[in-house]
Amino acid sequence: MQLFGWLAGDEIPAEYDLRHRGWHLVELGVSPGEASLPILLTDSSVRKRLNTRRERAPVMLIGVESPVERAHLLALGFGEVLPAAVTLAELEERVSRVAVALGSLPRRRAHGRLLLDLLLRDGWVGERRLGLHPREFALLWRLAEAPGEPVAADALLSEVWQLNFRPETNSLAVHVCRLRAKLAVAGLAQIVRTAVPGGYVLAIDPSSPAIPLRPAETALDEHVREVAPLGLPTGEEA
Buried b (16+ CB within 10 A) or exposed e, 103-121: eeeeeebebbbbbbebeeb
pLDDT given at position 161? 77
Task: Give percent of the chain above pLDDT 90.
Answer: 41
Location of each CATH 3.40.50.280 domain in the chain: 3-104
Delimit the CATH 1.10.10.10 region(s) of the chain. Answer: 108-202
CATH of domain 108-202: 1.10.10.10
- The kind and range of the H/E element at 122 are strand 122-125
The predicted structure's pLDDT at residue 168: 61
Is domain 3-104 in CATH 3.40.109.10, yes or no? no
pLDDT band, very low/low/confident/very high, at 29 (cuts 50, 70, 90)? low
Residue 236: DSSP 8-state:
T
pTM of the model: 0.50
Q: What is the pLDDT of residues 159-202, one digit of tens each?
A: 787 666 666 667 889 999 999 999 999 999 899 999 877 799 99
